[in-house]
Every structure is written in C-alpha cells, then in structure tokens.
Amino acid sequence: MDLEQLRKTAAEVVARDDVKYLIGWKKGSYGSRVAPAFVEDAASVIELIFSPSCTANLATYLTLVEKTPLPRGQETDKRKVALMAKGCDSRAVVQLLVEKGIHREDVIVIGCPCPGMIDQSLLAGKYGDTEERSEVRWNGKDFTLVRGGDEIEIPRNDVLAEKCRLCRHPNPVISDYLIGEAVKEWDPAEDSGVGELEAKDVDGRGDYWEGQFSRCVRCYSCRNVCPLCYCQDCILDRLNPTWINRAVNFSENTAFNISRAFHLAGRCIECGECERVCPANIPLGKINRKMAREVREKYGFEPGLDPDAEPFQASFKPDDPEDFIL
C-alpha cells in the first residue's frame, strides 16, 4: 500500500467543501491493533494507515452518521462522507446502495485493494500479545511483525483471517479513488467449517449448535457491528408484540441467531465482523456462509456486486428452472 498516495488522496477529499469527513483506520493504542479514524481536515490525514491489521468493516458507520431524530435546533448535515474500503467493505457499500440504505451521491469510496488481513486472536495465540506498540506489514504473500525493534517473519496461513482465506473479491467492487494497483486474486480455500457441519446428521447439527448457542450472552454485538443490520427499529427488540423473549437460554438464543441468519440471506457479504466481535467466540460465520452459498448456488445470486441490481428477495426470474424445489 502506497501510504503517500493514500494520504494525498485523503487530503484532497477532506479539503472539499461538500465532504463532512473521511472514515479510515489509524494505529491503535495497544499492540498491533488499529482503530477507526474520523478525519475532518487535511492536517489529520497523517494518521491514516492501511495494514494487515485493518480487518474491521468500516461500512457500518455509513448508516450511523446521521441518526434521526436530531437534537432540537440541529439540522441534518448533507455533506458527503468518504470511506476507505477493502473488497468486502465495498460489497457492503454496494448492498446498502441496492437497498437504498444510503445514496450514491452521499458517499465517496476510497478503494483499498486487499492482499489479506490478519486474525488478531491467531496472532496473539501464536506470537504472544503485548501492550507494546507493534506493527504488522505485508511481506509478499506473507506478513512481518515489527515489535520492539525485532522483525518476525510470519507465514500467511499462520494468522490469515478466515474471511480472507475464503475471499472471492479482495479488490474493491466500487470506488471513486483506487489506491495502488489491484491485487492478484487467489483461489478461495474450501469452506471446511461449513463442510464439517454438512457432513453431520440432523441430530449432530442440533447438538453442535446447542453447544454454541447456549454460550450466547445476547450482547447483540453481532447485530450492532453488521453493516447490513441497520434498521432503526429492529424486530428482535420489539416487546409488543414480542418476537423473541429477553431470556438468555438456548431456545431464545437460537431464535435470535437463526432469525438474524435468515434476515441476512441474500444480503450477507461475508465480511466476518459478526464472528470477529463475538465475546463467546460463536462461529456465526458458518451459518451466514451456508446461507450465502445456498443463495449463490441455487439462485445464481451474490449480493454486493452490482449497485443497480434488485435486492435478492425482491428479484424474480421468469426462466428460473426451480429444479431444486420438490
């Protein structure tokens, strides 16, 4: 990644009168972690980075910029918001455009071709965790951890995030500015996690998910981080009528998680944010990827690729053979 080009482009964008701010990444205060950066002026672009630690999907913030109702006397700021976006992030932007969650004229996308992101938990588990400021860099197909003056070479597969191992679109599918050259796409690995579950019988799958969902604390982190869960009035929060009780038990937890999965069918762009933030380490990605694969294979539909497409559940093909329907 050419940081000079990134920061120069960012400075030009935030200097525009019609831009409110730019959302990107900056170094965090702990280890090699990063944090969201909201850059409002050209002088602050020096904070911006793009590294293998920039795993989080910042598209979530696009639907959090202006939440109504606004405080009394405050008017909606109609200026544009700029966003740094990887391949999966850009798919979230496209899907939000398809669903009219945002409008194209309101967002500027700075595309960042992605060679692959790290899983911080894998990095900490294999190479230790520390409060000391450190940095992870790309080194060809692999990574380099710079910590305390030492440079530790890390094989790609040791710490690569699962979403990147399975990624089919590492380059931004939509952008107003593209930083650097597009990366060479790699063949996605076999989704062994979904495959292992499919190999189980019905009882085996039930036992597996009972063990997982029983650990759910219903913190709603998965919903809150998801760029496609942006309804101001979530049906899963309603008490009158009550769709899901507030009790934290296997039955209600299952209803919550399965409801989310079906709400994301044909919409999930497989960014892995739900699983990344889950404090109970529930493999939520397996459910969403299974649903995404069913939609892709049975209906030939993949969300987040065409901003002019119809939403999956609002689309219809008269020539659909429907061979899989009994």
The CA distance from 84 to 87, in Å, is 10
CB 59, CB 97: distance < 8 Å: no
Q: What are phi and psi of 289, to 5 degrees?
A: -70, -35
Kindly state whether residue 294 falls inside one of the protein's structural domains.
Answer: yes
Q: Is residue 138 part of a domain?
A: no
Residue pair 218/253 in contact (Cβ under 8 Å)? The answer is yes
H helical segments located in 15-142: 87-98, 120-127
In a domain, 101, yes or no: no
Please state the pTM of the whole predicted model: 0.91
Here the tokens at position 248 are 């934290």
- The whole-number pLDDT of residue 69 equals 67
Number of domains comprising the chain: 1
Number of other CB atoms surrounding residue 319 within 10 Å:
4
Within 10 A of 218 (CB to CB), how many other CB atoms are there?
18
CA of residue 53 relative to chain centroid, distance:
13
Among residues 54, 171, 58, the alpha carbon closest in space to that of 108 is found at 58
Q: What is the 3-state secondary structure (H, E, C) of 191-248?
A: CHHHHHHHCCCHHHHHHHHHHHHCCCCCCCHHHHHCCCCCCCCCHHHCECCECCCCCC
pLDDT band at 326 (very low <50, low <70, confident <90, very high): low
pLDDT at 313: 84
Cβ-proximal residues to 204 (8 Å cutoff; 6+ apart), any chain: none
Does residue 310 lie in a domain region?
Answer: yes
Residue 153 has pLDDT above 70, yes or no: yes
Angle subtended by helix axes 250-263 and 202-213, to nearest 10: 100
| pLDDT tens digits, 227-253 | 999 988 888 888 888 888 888 889 999
Top pLDDT among 299 and 173 is at 173
pLDDT of 182-198, one tens digit each?
A: 999 999 999 999 999 99
First to last CA, the chain: 50
Contact (CB, 8 A) for 303 and 98: yes
Question: Percent of the chain having pLDDT more than 70?
Answer: 97
- Contact indicator for 31, 133 with CB cutoff of 8 Å: yes
Q: 10 Å Cβ neighbour count for 265?
A: 16
Residue with tokens 């071709």: 113
Range of the domain at 278: 190-326
Residue 299 pLDDT level (bands cut at 50, 70, 90): confident
Question: How much is the pLDDT for 235?
Answer: 86
Torsion, Cα of 279, 234, 266, 325 (10° steps): 110
In the three-class reduction of DSSP (H, G, I as helix; E, B as strand; rest coil), residue 250 is classed as helix
Report the pLDDT value the prediction gives residue 148, as an integer from 0 to 100. Answer: 85
Helices 250-263, 284-299: axis angle to 10 degrees equals 40
Is 315 among the domain residues?
A: yes
Position 229 in a domain:
yes
DSSP summary character for residue 138: E
The answer to whether residue 64 is domain-embedded is no
Q: Tokens in use for 284? A: 């939520």
**Is 219 a member of any domain?**
yes
